[in-house]
Amino acid sequence: MTAERQRQPDQRLQRGLDELRGIILRRYPEATFEVSRGPDDPEAIHLTATVDVEDTEDVVDLVIDRMMELQIEENLPIFVIPTRPMERALEELRRPHLGSPYPPRTASPNPHTEDR
């Protein structure tokens, strides 16, 4: 196999990744990205997009059609994995969930200090 033929899949992957990044950046200019191989499938390319959104499904909705085209029509195993910034996730965990059917978690009493 020539060096040129080996570079073509890399170039196609790079173009696909760049295109998906561009779609996300047009809507979420503060987004950051990381590219990695799939932990269970080394052929898969994960484009992890960190975006400060309420619901990461909004990011998936933005790219799903093009991501599927890249996978099916162009045989590029690229998967967009949206995540929220750590600060945003921690903030949400600290916030009481209004309307939740579950009471807030409290520390369980120490069984060794109970009155007997």
pLDDT, residue 98, reads 57
Q: Quote the Cα angle for 39-46-1, to 5°.
A: 85
pLDDT of residue 3: 47
pLDDT at position 100 is 54
Question: Concatenated DSSP letters for 91-109?
Answer: HHHHS--TT-SSPPP-PPP
The model scores a pTM over 0.75: no
Per-residue pLDDT of the chain (116 residues; tens, 9 = 90+): 444 444 566 899 999 999 999 999 999 999 999 999 999 998 999 999 999 998 999 999 999 999 999 999 999 999 999 999 988 777 777 776 655 555 555 555 555 555 54
| Contact present, 58 and 47 (Cβ < 8 Å) | no
The position carrying tokens 């994995």 is 81
The whole-number pLDDT of residue 93 equals: 72
Q: How many CB atoms are closer than 10 A to CB 105?
A: 6
Give the model's pLDDT for residue 1: 43
Give the pLDDT of residue 41: 92
> What's the topology of domain 10-95?
GMP Synthetase; Chain A, domain 3 (3.30.300)
